[in-house]
Amino acid sequence: MHPCLSCGACCAYFRVSFHWSEADPALGGVVPPELTETLRTHERVMRGTSQVQPRCIALDADIGRYSRCTIHDRRPSVCALVPASWEFGASSAQCDKARVAHGLPVLAADDWIDVSEADKNPLPQP
């Protein structure tokens, strides 16, 4: 199983801010606008992630046990840019920081042994 499916720490640790156009259907945006709020002039943020103890409104999880993004196929681009540690052969400071903050061990290369290449999250193309 992909380690992110039993984690969810990043979605309950970081503010998820992105360009407003990603939540504007008229411009091809796919992020549901009702799940976002204005952050700054050109930025929106996922609801719940600008709090002292962030938790994305789209997160369905018991951190460290199960996790899923309810809008995975429509999530902001910044979410796809945070790789899990060792998913692509290197550690991820963001992943490690979020996991440690939730009392989870950082991921290691061995955590990926039984995960097929097809099940890994492809990084978005620029």
Q: Which residues of the chain are under the pLDDT cut of 70?
A: 121-126
pLDDT at residue number 119: 73
Q: How far apart are CA 57 and CA 72, in angstroms?
A: 12
Q: Give the model's pLDDT for residue 3.
A: 92
Q: What angle do CA 106, 109, 110 make, to 5 degrees?
A: 95
Say what the pLDDT of residue 122 is: 55
